[in-house]
Amino acid sequence: MYNVRTEHERKTVRMIFYPSLLTKQFGNAESQQTLLFKVPKMDHHPEHKDAPEQALADILAAKDLIELFLKMGKAQELNLASLRDRPNTLFEINGISLEGKLIAHLVDEARRGQGYAYAPYSHFNVGAAILAANRAGEQKVFSGCNVENAAYGSTICAERTATFKAVSEGFRKFHAYAVVGGFDQHVSKALRTNTQKSYITPCGSCRQVMNEFEASPCAVIMAKGTGEIYMTTLNYLLPSGFGPRALGVDAADYDGGYANQLAQKK
Ligand code: THU
């Protein structure tokens, strides 16, 4: 019998007992506040020594949040309402800064896309929105929804719908994505309310497809139905991803020549 311990377990334990590590890792004042509020300062709590139940309760309270951070890498939690109040504030994450109004706009557009979700089989409605640039440097937001199919495997996710909409219009450099999701009216209220409380994370196939067109870094914004926003970058969702650069290709610059022919004909 081998004793197998995952990196995840080790990190969880270490981080719980050294919240200062978390503070160091998760940068700015806002995320620190969230963390310090939610993660009890275990190393400064002498009462934990005499009250193991309290220590356990504190660990459990911190566990969910820490797991979220471990799963998604560096990230910060924001709130849609407070973002709308700070439209011009820059929110920085892993080397990319987005204005509050852009984050809110992307979430709004993802929600608009969600409204068109075609999900009569899973009843899970997903919406996505991408801020993308074309070769002329113009920027545009593209939204998308999941489009299911009676042959279930032919279903496409919202993130890929938005991606293909953008790429098919010549917008191949992606700066930021927003993703929202939740069950429709056909499922029980309990299930619907429950999923509203969690973030929808892009599936593995979508991460790979998004990676093809990412401007490095590319922000990924996930919003709960309740308004909390979780922001990270694609390189944390897909570390060491295999992308066009591995094959010496620049996705944003690729030109098969047909666009020029069209331009000449005009
Ligand atoms: N789905 C998305 O659109 N994006 C994701 O990132 C996860 C899953 C869709 C696919 C399917 O229509 C439904 O959600 C349930 O899997």
Point out the ligand 1 atom lying closest to the alpha carbon of residue 147: 12
Task: Check pocket membership of 108 for ligand 1, CB cut-off 6 A.
Answer: no
pLDDT at 211 over 60: yes
Task: Check pocket membership of 106 for ligand 1, CB cut-off 6 A.
Answer: no
Tell me if 25 is assigned to some domain.
no
Q: Report the separation in Å between the CA atom of 70 and the middle of ligand 1, taken as the mean of its atom positions.
A: 22
Whole-number Å distance between alpha carbons of 222 and 219: 10
pLDDT at 189 over 70: yes
Task: Check pocket membership of 209 for ligand 1, CB cut-off 6 A.
Answer: no
By the 8 A CB rule, do 69 and 230 touch? no
CATH number for the domain harbouring residue 221: 3.40.140.10
191 three-state secondary structure: helix
Q: Report the separation in Å between the CA atom of 99 and the middle of ligand 1, taken as the mean of its atom positions.
A: 28
pLDDT at 50 over 70: no
Whole-number Å distance between alpha carbons of 140 and 137: 10
Tell me if 27 is assigned to some domain.
no
Tell me if 22 is assigned to some domain.
no
Domain extent at residue 130:
4-8+38-265
Tell me if 111 is assigned to some domain.
yes
pLDDT at 65 over 80: no
Residue ID of nearest Cα to ligand 1 atom 8: 157
Please choose, from the candidates 227, 120, 132, 229, the residue with its C-alpha nearest in 3D space to the C-alpha of residue 184.
120
Tell me if 33 is assigned to some domain.
no
Tell me if 71 is assigned to some domain.
yes
Exposure string of 187-214, with b = 16+ CB inside 10 Å and e = fewer, is: eeeeebeebeebbbbbeeebbebbbbbb
Point out the ligand 1 atom lying closest to the alpha carbon of residue 125: 14
Residue ID of nearest Cα to ligand 1 atom 13: 124
- Full strand arrangement of the beta sheet holding 214-223: 76-79, 228-233, 214-223, 171-183, 124-134, 139-145
Q: Which of 121, 125, 143, 155 to mutate to test the pocket of ligand 1 (most atoms within 8 A of CB)?
A: 155
Instruction: Please provide the average confidence, as pLDDT, over all residues in the chain.
Output: 80
Tell me if 61 is assigned to some domain.
yes
Residue positions annotated with a catalytic role: 159
Tell me if 80 is assigned to some domain.
yes
Contacts of residue 58, defined as CB under 8 A and 6 or more positions apart, other chains included, come to 40, 42, 45, 48
Question: Between these two residues, 51 and 153, which has the higher pLDDT value?
Answer: 153
pLDDT score of 173: 95
Q: How many domains does the chain have?
A: 1
Q: What is the pLDDT of residues 104-129, one digit of tens each?
A: 999 999 999 999 999 999 999 999 99
